[in-house]
Amino acid sequence: MRGTLLANRRGMQRFRQLATTAVKSSKIKLLLFCCIAFTLVVVATRASDFMGWTNHSDSLDQFLPPGKGYAIVMNTWKRYDLLKQSISHYASCSGLESIHIVWSEPNPPSDSLSTFLNHVIESKTRGLKKVELSFDINKEDSLNNRFKEIPGLKTDAVFSIDDDVIFPCSSVEFAFKVWQSAPNAMVGFVPRAHWVDKTLGKTDYYTYGGWWSVWWTGTYSMVLSKAAFFHKKYLRMYTNEMPKSIKEFVTKNRNCEDIAMSFLVANATGAPPIWVKGKIFEIGSTGISSLGGHGERRTRCINRFAAELGRMPLVPTTAKAVDSRYTWFW
């Protein structure tokens, strides 16, 4: 009898152990299933980022009234394949109204290039809206050309972009909305910094900080014009009010026109720029920023421009605009 009871107790204990193991296994399986489901959702919603610069939700049906969108001012130099690729991409962005290609080459653009680009724009917009294309021809090869005033520009917003960088239209449209909330500010995707270099025992000597300085400190004071929105009035101000000595310095050194524009906007507003988080796709070869001594040359520019203006107008900030609709982790 006692043996029977002992056997029953052992059986019950064995059953409880099996039941507990089964419950734990079910919980682990449920947790694993939730993790897999969450991963699939993230991959599905972020697939465009993994696969390229396809847009999240931009539609050609969401056009803005004429004059309420933005104009692209694209700097280029003998990179026709990159130019075609960039124009083909940005032509589908819903807020785009016109494209102005800054042309500083000795020979004018070919008829075949112009025809190709116009055809691409028409095919991308599917004839639902008119995007104007123009080549702003310059006789002199100078980086200042990208900030020349554009007569008859219909939009207040200008999106300055290089021909070798691509941002998804969703990122561009978000940056445009950020700019609309602060139209006097410079709003861009590529932040840079400066700080007082006290190692020389001075309080008015500054050092240029690249991306890693921004990443490490979380502070920036410029957004580069290779991908930035600003008001068209700054083109007029750069053309007519920027000190001649600064523009001559830019032309001679073939560098720092973007820093000069940051100085101009900061000097006019007394406020910092706005950095917008966005995924950048570099489609060209490395530029001048990859050359040795680039940081030293940029440091020289900052100190030269500050001396020309008689003060340092750049304002540091730690703020960043993030589109929370497509960002899981801020």
E strand map for the chain: 70-75, 96-103, 132-137, 157-162, 165-166, 187-188, 191-196, 206-209, 222-223, 227-231, 274-276, 281-282, 320-321
* Cα–Cα distance, 269 to 312 (Å, whole number): 13
Structure tokens at 192: 């840079």
Tokens of 225: 């014009």
Query: What does the CA dihedral 291, 296, 298, 301 come to, rounded to 10 degrees?
Result: -140
- The closest alpha carbon to 259, from 205, 320, 219, 305, belongs to 305
Is position 258 annotated as part of the catalytic site? yes
Residue-wise burial string across 150-163, b where 16 or more C-beta atoms lie within 10 A, e elsewhere: beebebbbbbbbbb
Instruction: Label residue 29 left, alpha or beta by phi (over 0 means left) and psi (-120 to 50 means alpha).
Output: alpha
**Signed CA dihedral, 168, 290, 158, 113: sign only:** negative
The rounded distance, in Å, linking the Cα atoms of 55 and 168 is: 5
> Pick the catalytic residue: 162, 163, 164, 258?
258
The residues annotated with a catalytic role in the active site are 258
